């Protein structure tokens, strides 16, 4: 029996980066180290804190974060009451118990800075600490949003020049997750990097790293999600800047074209993801009205094969039962949350048909047969794709049904814009 072909050379990217950082750090300290015991002690101390802080980071988001984010449905008009309602709905619908634990406020919560530079929430958020307490009391975690630029994408106050102060405020309020969105910092790059891509890259790394250090300095474990819209191949450097997840492209919209243009463009990125550091193809649109149930199943299936963060983006308190059943299908969610954290890849693309697969911890393989066509299509699953001749155990995770064993290959009828999602056990 052959295991899947795509080995993950850096499945433990974070750990590798960590030790590389450490080696270069030690090397940087090495010359003086030999000369002075005091410095040697200091270096050891720094090493210890480095390891400790990276260890904290590595423990965060060991599986892709799951929860809810306000942006896709509420936009910049989000309020304290909406966030509380989302927290209540996560608890009441059972979604929290399926793993959706982050309640993330996106852009639109910010007010003005005080004279001493303290960022205050706007009138729709009377008391952030009380809101965090409310969310925590329901067994959930609170997320917030800011930008490394002077302004956020919706034109609100950003964190530029106030990183440490803002990180402290977030920690004081009880925030557990920060989405840090490049927005107006792009303008800063245009103005200050003068078209020099290396300088722009250095600056971008620097501002994202700066907020990471500020968060770490608070001592509160805060998941760090950066959003640079795929700029400058963020997947190659974001985890070194301390990010637990990074956006791989532009904003998602509530329609099949947008979801699939983004989702099926994630090929080749799997080697950059792993426990504690994830590619983020953006949030879910399920339940917002623009996707049919088949299209919604396509998004959740693909995102789960991609080990993507699963942040529902709909109005949870007014969700229809189809959307809830899709979002809350635990067999699918357990593919996304598989503890080994190996992101899946495309195995085959033929016109509008795609086959993606992902190795799971117990040796089984999750396989998605996708039909991007507007009519039904038969897709043949040939086990040779995975170096197998037969599989005894086949589970259809949307139907919650075991299927007969497969010898060689089997053909599945896949609905228009739909998916058949299987777990096969070699």
In the range 258-297, which residues lie near ligand GLA by CB under 6 A? none
* 14, 64, 71, 96: residue in contact with ligand GLA (rule CB under 6 A): 71
* 15, 209, 251, 396: residue in contact with ligand GLA (rule CB under 6 A): 251
Asked if 152 is part of the footprint of ligand GLA (rule: CB under 6 A), the reply reads: yes
Q: Which stretch binds ligand GLA (CB under 6 A): 39-47, 133-141, 152-160, 202-210?
A: 152-160
Q: How many CA atoms lie within 13 A of 148 on its CB side?
A: 24
Task: Report the nearest approach of ligand GLA to the CB of residue 183 (Å).
Answer: 6
Task: Report the nearest approach of ligand GLA to the CB of residue 273 (Å).
Answer: 19
If the CB atoms of residues 65 and 418 are measured against ligand GLA, the closer one turns out to be 65
Asked if 382 is part of the footprint of ligand GLA (rule: CB under 6 A), the reply reads: no
* 206 within 8 A of 242, measured Cβ to Cβ: no
Which sequence positions are flagged as catalytic? 181, 251
C-alpha closest to that of 259 among 213, 301, 204: 301
Q: Which stretch binds ligand GLA (CB under 6 A): 80-88, 149-157, 353-361, 395-403?
A: 149-157
Task: Report the nearest approach of ligand GLA to the CB of residue 391 (Å).
Answer: 39
- Please report where in the chains the tokens 């950059």 appear, as a residue: 272
Task: Report the nearest approach of ligand GLA to the CB of residue 42 (Å).
Answer: 41
C-alpha closest to that of 210 among 170, 246, 159, 158: 159
Phi-psi region of 183 (alpha: psi -120 to 50; beta: other; left: phi over 0): left
Question: How many C-beta atoms lie closer than 10 Å to residue 314's C-beta?
Answer: 25
3-state secondary structure of 117: coil
Question: How many C-beta atoms lie closer than 10 Å to residue 292's C-beta?
Answer: 14
Asked if 82 is part of the footprint of ligand GLA (rule: CB under 6 A), the reply reads: no
Question: How many C-beta atoms lie closer than 10 Å to residue 130's C-beta?
Answer: 14
If the CB atoms of residues 4 and 238 are measured against ligand GLA, the closer one turns out to be 238
In the range 341-370, which residues lie near ligand GLA by CB under 6 A? none
- Please report where in the chains the tokens 């260890």 appear, as a residue: 55
Asked if 88 is part of the footprint of ligand GLA (rule: CB under 6 A), the reply reads: no
If the CB atoms of residues 107 and 359 are measured against ligand GLA, the closer one turns out to be 107
C-alpha closest to that of 358 among 407, 404, 304: 304
* 340 within 8 A of 349, measured Cβ to Cβ: no
Task: Report the nearest approach of ligand GLA to the CB of residue 153 (Å).
Answer: 3
Q: At what angle do helices 256-263 and 293-305 cross, to 10 degrees?
A: 20
C-alpha closest to that of 179 among 105, 256, 74, 272: 105
Asked if 153 is part of the footprint of ligand GLA (rule: CB under 6 A), the reply reads: yes
* 374 within 8 A of 43, measured Cβ to Cβ: no
Task: Report the nearest approach of ligand GLA to the CB of residue 145 (Å).
Answer: 6
Q: What is the DSSP letter of 392?
A: S
Using CB under 6 A as the binding criterion, the count of chain residues that bind ligand GLA stands at 9
* 16, 26, 47, 154: residue in contact with ligand GLA (rule CB under 6 A): 154
Annotate each residue in 22-61 with x if it binds ligand GLA (CB under 6 A) or - if it does not, as one string: ----------------------------------------
* 370 within 8 A of 415, measured Cβ to Cβ: no
* 107, 166, 176, 285: residue in contact with ligand GLA (rule CB under 6 A): 107
If the CB atoms of residues 66 and 332 are measured against ligand GLA, the closer one turns out to be 66
If the CB atoms of residues 147 and 239 are measured against ligand GLA, the closer one turns out to be 147
* 181, 336, 354, 359: residue in contact with ligand GLA (rule CB under 6 A): 181
If the CB atoms of residues 112 and 389 are measured against ligand GLA, the closer one turns out to be 112
N- to C-terminal Cα distance for the chain? 7
* 80, 106, 176, 354: residue in contact with ligand GLA (rule CB under 6 A): 106
Task: Report the nearest approach of ligand GLA to the CB of residue 71 (Å).
Answer: 5
Asked if 227 is part of the footprint of ligand GLA (rule: CB under 6 A), the reply reads: yes
Task: Report the nearest approach of ligand GLA to the CB of residue 150 (Å).
Answer: 14
Kindly tell me the number of DSSP H helices and DSSP E strands found in the chain. 12, 20
Give the Cα separation of 17 and 23 in Å (integer).
10
Strand 406-407 with 365-371, pairing: unpaired
Torsion of CA 20, 61, 360, 394, to 10 degrees: -160
If the CB atoms of residues 119 and 423 are measured against ligand GLA, the closer one turns out to be 119
Binding residues (CB under 6 A) for ligand GLA: these are 71, 106-107, 152-154, 181, 227, 251
């Amino acid at each position: 029996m052959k295991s899947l072909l795509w080995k993950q050379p850096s499945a433990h990217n974070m750990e590798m980066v960590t030790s590389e950082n450490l080696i270069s750090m030690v090397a940087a300290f090495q010359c003086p180290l030999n000369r002075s015991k005091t410095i040697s002690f200091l270096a050891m101390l720094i090493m210890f804190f480095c390891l400790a802080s990276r260890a904290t980071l590595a423990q965060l988001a060991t599986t892709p974060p799951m929860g809810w984010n306000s942006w896709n449905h509420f936009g910049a008009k989000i309020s304290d009451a909406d966030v509380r309602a989302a927290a209540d709905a996560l608890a009441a619908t059972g979604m929290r118990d399926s793993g959706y634990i982050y309640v993330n406020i996106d852009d639109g919560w910010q007010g003005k800075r005080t004279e001493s530079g303290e960022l205050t929430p706007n009138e729709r958020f009377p008391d952030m600490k009380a809101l965090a307490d409310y969310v925590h009391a329901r067994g959930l975690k609170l997320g917030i949003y800011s930008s490394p630029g002077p302004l956020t994408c919706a034109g609100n106050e950003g964190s530029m020049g106030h990183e440490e102060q803002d990180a402290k405020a977030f920690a004081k309020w009880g925030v557990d997750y920060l989405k840090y969105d490049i927005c107006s910092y792009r303008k800063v790059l245009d103005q200050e990097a003068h078209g020099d891509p290396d300088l722009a890259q250095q600056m971008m790394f620097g501002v994202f790293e700066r907020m990471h250090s500020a968060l770490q300095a608070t001592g509160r474990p805060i998941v760090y999600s950066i959003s640079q819209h795929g700029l400058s191949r963020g997947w190659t450097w974001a985890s070194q800047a301390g990010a637990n997840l990074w956006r791989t492209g532009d904003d998602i919209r509530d329609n099949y074209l947008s979801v699939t243009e983004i989702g099926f463009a994630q090929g080749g990125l799997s080697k950059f993801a792993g426990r504690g550091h994830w590619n983020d193809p953006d949030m879910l649109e399920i339940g917002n009205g623009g996707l049919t149930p088949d299209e919604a199943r396509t998004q959740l299936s693909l995102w789960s094969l991609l080990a993507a963060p699963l942040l529902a983006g709909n109005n949870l308190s007014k969700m229809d039962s189809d959307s809830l059943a899709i979002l809350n299908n635990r067999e699918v969610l357990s593919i996304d949350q598989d503890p080994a954290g190996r992101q899946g890849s495309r195995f085959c693309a033929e016109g509008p048909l795609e086959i993606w697969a992902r190795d799971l911890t117990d040796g089984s393989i999750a396989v998605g047969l996708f039909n991007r066509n507007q009519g039904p299509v038969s897709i043949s699953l040939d086990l040779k794709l995975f170096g197998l001749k037969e599989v005894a155990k086949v589970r259809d995770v949307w139907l919650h049904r075991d299927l007969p064993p497969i010898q060689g290959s089997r053909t599945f009828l896949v609905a228009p814009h739909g998916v058949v999602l299987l777990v096969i056990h070699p």
